[in-house]
Amino acid sequence: MKAAIFLGPNEIRLEEVNKPLINEHEVLVRVNASAVCGTDVRIFEGKKTKGIRTPSIIGHELVGTIEEVGAQVKGFFAGDRVGVMPVIPCRKCYYCLNGRENVCANRTAIGYEYDGGFAEYVKIPGIAVEAGNLVKIPDHVSFEQAVVTEPLACCINGQRKANVKMGDVVVVIGGGPIGLMHVQLAKIAGAKSVILSEPIEHRREKALLAGANYAVNPDSESLHDIVLGESDGHGADVVIMAIGVPFLVKPSVNLLKKGGTLNLFAGFTNGVLSEIDPNIIHYNEVNVNGTSALTRADYYKSLSLIASGQINTEVLTTTGYTLDDIEQAIMDVRNGNGMKSVITL
């Protein structure tokens, strides 16, 4: 089979490798679509290393068709269209037993410890099959739509942490696919006004299509003034950072009203620190929290929203890539040339 082999920072190469062999507890999936995440970009650049092996096959946003089923696997058959939840919880540790399986102390993941979706086939390990990490996709949902189920599920987790409510003023920093997912979810939650900040014009245009009330160019407009104008001078109820830029943390927290919440959704480069005034947190009683990955329940909610047509997936993706274009697909995400690059196999 063809697979994009990650060899180290800034080096990924398409190779012919053996198709995975499965045992009686495993499932082999033929990958129909795989998407490039911002985390994949950080892995490619060498900025994220935890759980990453070299050489290996990365890519954790994938959907496909079951090719083979192990003899001991129940409920799945060859030909089933499936989505794959990449994070595999142990279901036994303190965090799993207390509603935080997404930060499982022993978590592993497809695309990290196990080979991922930038290949023609992917083996789903028995531990993932047993944990329920394979989910059947409704027939009317295309693979190009379903491939965003995993990142959207992560955003659902982020919205829960941010506690977006009806009537809220919500600011989303960053107009990439993750930012536009947060725009749509905030509107579904009943936000009165959703303000997106993004310097790239084509992403601002897509943000308006996604339902943003304002798409602000922070290089030429005052985001602060617009937020105050939309909130009767109080500030935003919620600010979600959908881009991991450390120097934006301080101005983002300054957009909040008293008692507001700043959610650091995007991952940041390890060791790169942010400066923040603790008095803002103290005197304004603001909440600062983060988001990591997804729960299995989030994945089902995400797929339901897509299947019911409540999420505009077209504004989130740029299609037309193949495995031959893997490096270009990664670079286009890094440079903001498109949206989420979708590799079709």
Separation of alpha carbons 339 and 299, rounded Å: 21
pLDDT value of residue 271: 87
pLDDT exceeds 90 at position 89? yes
pLDDT by residue (tens digit) across 156-196? 999 999 999 999 999 999 999 999 999 999 999 999 999 99
Q: Whole-model pTM above 0.85?
A: yes
CB atoms < 10 A from the CB of 106, how many? 12
Helix 177-188 vs helix 149-162: crossing angle, to nearest 10: 60
pLDDT value of residue 51: 87
pLDDT value of residue 272: 87
The strand pairing partners of 262, in sequence order, are 239, 288
pLDDT exceeds 90 at position 270? no
pLDDT value of residue 320: 96
pLDDT by residue (tens digit) across 17-52? 999 999 999 999 999 999 999 999 999 999 988 889
Domains of the chain: 2-148+313-344 (3.90.180.10), 155-290 (3.40.50.720)
pLDDT exceeds 90 at position 278? yes
pLDDT exceeds 90 at position 280? yes
- Secondary structure class of 342 (helix, strand, coil): strand
CA 235 remoteness from chain centre: 27
pLDDT by residue (tens digit) across 204-227? 999 999 999 999 999 999 999 999
Percent over 70 (pLDDT), the chain = 100
pLDDT value of residue 74: 97
Q: Enumerate residues 6+ apart whose C-beta is below 8 A from 225.
A: none
